[in-house]
Amino acid sequence: MSDAIKAYVRFVDRVNRYVGLFAMYLIVAMIGILFYSSITKAFFLPSLWTLEMAQFTMVAYYLLGGGYSLKTGAHVRMDLLYSRWSPRTKAAVDSITILFLIFFLVMLLVGGVSSTEYAIKYGEESYSVWAPKMWPIKVIMCTAIFLTLLQAVATFFRNVAEAVGSPIEKTYPETSS
């Protein structure tokens, strides 16, 4: 593999690592929001914004963690035959199957960008009492899908390199095999 591709893979891995680590802390923010909601409902006048804000935080957590989970191999895989294959065979098969994920992510990004443009152009609001603007969460959604797409392409390059016998070394330890 060329040095440019290796640099791309390492850069995308690094970016998704930091974004994924940031996303992990969104659970703490969501817990704080829900705790505040519980306190205000029990002792004061309930807030209108807390449940929807917790949902937005969960969406950001889930989507921003996509690239990181793809990078670390924390996604679901059908392991019936896969576990018996050699690393090079696994990489060859993964090189083909990741193309389906890339296609899906491109379609998802196209739809997300279209939806985000609509939300910005027409000032789309949620159909709730709080009625927040929808564009901020949609921008986060598109950013997360884009980062996951970049990671899928990096994974494709990593799999092809391993399948041809010249794997791209990892710059830090992974959390899963």
> For each successive 10 residues of the chain (177 residues), what is the average pLDDT?
92 96 96 96 91 96 95 81 89 94 98 98 94 96 98 96 86 54
Give the other-Cβ count within 10 Å of 99's Cβ: 12
What is the model's pLDDT at position 46?
86
What is the model's pLDDT at position 177?
43
Quick one: which of 112, 131, 111, 135 has its CA closest to 123?
A: 135
Domain boundaries, the chain: 3-74+85-163
Quick one: which of 138, 166, 151 has its CA closest to 71?
A: 151
**CA–CA distance, 108 with 159 (Å, rounded to integer):** 23
Q: For the chain, give the mean pLDDT.
A: 92
pTM beyond cutoff 0.85: yes
Write the pLDDT tens digit of every residue in 107-134.
999 999 999 999 999 999 999 999 999 9
57 burial level (CB within 10 Å; 0-12, 13-18, 19+): buried
